[in-house]
């Protein structure tokens, strides 16, 4: 009877390990797909840059400005250069001084880019 219990415990641990590995792989796959879309979008914007086209500013609304962390949460429209639809998300900011210009509820125009793998606001101006 003890042998059966030990075998059951080993089988249970093995099954849990396999399930965890599959879950991590699935999660990694989602990030890879998102990264691939962003990379493809980045390639497109780099190509457009060669033609003299500037990245257009996107409308957004500040949900939170975290000066200590150097991050801003924005509800925004489509980010064509990053291949993203409208959503609310947290961005790093290129210059923490940008966060002194805005507060929650403010309407803004901004440009975001992928900088060292992180989505980063590189230009931010209050909307008129």
**Domain enclosing residue 86, as ranges:** 58-126
Distance CA(81)–CA(48), nearest Å, equals 10
Question: Could you say which of 54, 78, 97 is where a domain stops?
Answer: 54
Is there a single domain that holds both residue 47 and residue 64?
Answer: no
Q: How many structural domains comprise the chain?
A: 2
Is there a single domain that holds both residue 39 and residue 81?
Answer: no
Is there a single domain that holds both residue 100 and residue 122?
Answer: yes
Full pLDDT tens readout for the chain, 128 residues: 555 565 555 555 554 545 444 444 444 444 433 444 444 444 443 333 334 457 889 999 999 999 999 999 999 999 999 999 999 999 999 999 999 999 999 999 999 999 999 999 999 999 98
Q: Which two tokens stand for residue 102?
A: 């805005």
Q: What is the pTM of this model?
A: 0.59
Distance CA(119)–CA(79), nearest Å, equals 11
Compute how many other C-beta atoms are within 10 angstroms of the C-beta atom of residue 89.
Answer: 14
Chain centroid to CA 88: 10
Beta-strand relationship, 107-115 and 87-93: unpaired
């Amino acid at each position: 009877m003890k042998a059966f219990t030990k075998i059951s415990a080993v089988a249970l641990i093995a099954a849990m390990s396999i399930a965890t590995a599959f879950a991590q792989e699935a999660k990694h796959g989602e990030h890879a797909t998102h990264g691939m879309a962003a990379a493809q979008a980045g390639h497109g914007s780099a190509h457009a840059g060669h033609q003299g086209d500037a990245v257009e500013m996107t409308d957004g609304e500040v949900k939170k400005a975290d000066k200590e962390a150097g991050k801003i949460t924005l509800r925004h429209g489509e980010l064509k250069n990053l291949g993203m639809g409208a959503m609310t998300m947290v961005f790093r900011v290129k210059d923490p001084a940008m966060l002194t210009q805005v507060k929650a509820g403010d309407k803004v125009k901004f440009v975001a880019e992928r900088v060292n793998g992180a989505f980063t606001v590189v230009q931010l101006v209050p909307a008129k």
